[in-house]
Amino acid sequence: MNNTMLEPSPATLDPHLLLPENYKLLLENDLVRVFDVRIRPGEKLRLHANGPSVIYVLNDGRLQHTYEDGTTKVKTAISGAVVWDEAEAHETTNVGDTDIHSIKIELKTT
């Protein structure tokens, strides 16, 4: 395992700073940031950047990521799933009829 530190997300795209009502910081240390993430049905989160992350999905739902180049990807969240998410910048919209609720463990090292 390489312990090279990743560059932090630019402060202007940090979801914890941009979206504090959606990204509740539960823990931060030199290795990780752990967030409780909640997005209401129909809610759209502005452009933000996440580091590489492990996500534990707490309930079923559907979300759409819109990337800076305009492409979109719809994802289905399944309760109990554990998902790997690469570092990326995107907008997120809850396109389902249930809350999106997950625990996101954002890695600071690779």
In terms of residue numbers, what domain contains 17?
11-107
Q: How many domains is the chain built from?
A: 1
Kindly report, residue by residue over 4-19, the tens digit of the pLDDT.
Answer: 334 444 557 899 888 9
Chain segment 46-95, per-residue pLDDT in tens: 999 999 999 999 999 999 999 999 999 999 999 999 999 999 999 999 99
The more confident residue out of 8 and 109 is 109
CA-wise closest residue to 68 among 88, 95, 42, 50? 88
Neighbouring C-alpha atoms within 13 Å toward the C-beta of 107: 17
CA 6 to chain centre: 17
What's the CATH code of the domain at 49?
A: 2.60.120.10
* pLDDT tens-place string over residues 28-39: 999 999 999 999
Model-level pTM? Answer: 0.84
Is residue 50 a contact partner of residue 13, using CB atoms and an 8 Å limit?
no
DSSP 34-83: EEEEEE-TT-EEEEEEE-SEEEEE-S-EEEEEEETTS-EEEEEE-TT-EE
